[in-house]
């Protein structure tokens, strides 16, 4: 008689590793996003993107004719960094932006 034993912990780790590998493969296929894809990805309106992100040179946006394209990897890095900056300064994006913009104006006047 043959007995088979399965290490459930090892099986779960292997499963999660393979899922992560596949997600990374799928993610790599979407290198650039258009404006509609970006809106869906960020779950915000185009006006919010324009107001808070689009014109920051670190955001990863390029203009191609009348269209905007966004490098997904750069957008991800920007949003991760942006998230932590806002969290470290009270967690309110609008207040953080006012402080950040105020500092820029002060630096320009100096």
pLDDT tens across 43-93, in order?
A: 999 999 998 899 888 898 999 899 999 998 899 999 998 888 888 878 777
Strand partners, 34: 69
How far apart CA 97 and CA 39 sit, in angstroms, is 20
Distance from chain centroid for Cα 19: 20
pLDDT value of position 98: 61
Nearest alpha-carbon partner for 74 in 82, 63, 86: 82
pLDDT value of position 102: 62
Q: For residue 100, is pLDDT > 80?
A: no
pLDDT value of position 108: 42
pLDDT tens across 3-27, in order?
A: 888 899 998 999 999 998 888 777 6
């Amino acid at each position: 008689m043959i007995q088979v034993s399965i290490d459930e912990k090892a099986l779960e780790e292997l499963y999660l590793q393979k899922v992560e590998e596949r997600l990374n493969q799928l993610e790599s296929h979407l290198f650039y996003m258009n404006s509609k894809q970006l809106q869906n990805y960020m779950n915000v309106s185009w006006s919010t993107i324009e107001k808070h992100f689009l014109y920051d040179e670190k955001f990863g946006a390029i203009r191609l004719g009348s269209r905007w394209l966004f490098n997904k990897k750069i957008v991800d890095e920007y949003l991760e960094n942006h998230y932590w900056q806002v969290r470290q300064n009270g967690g309110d994006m609008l207040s953080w932006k006012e402080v950040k913009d105020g500092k820029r104006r002060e630096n320009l006047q100096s």
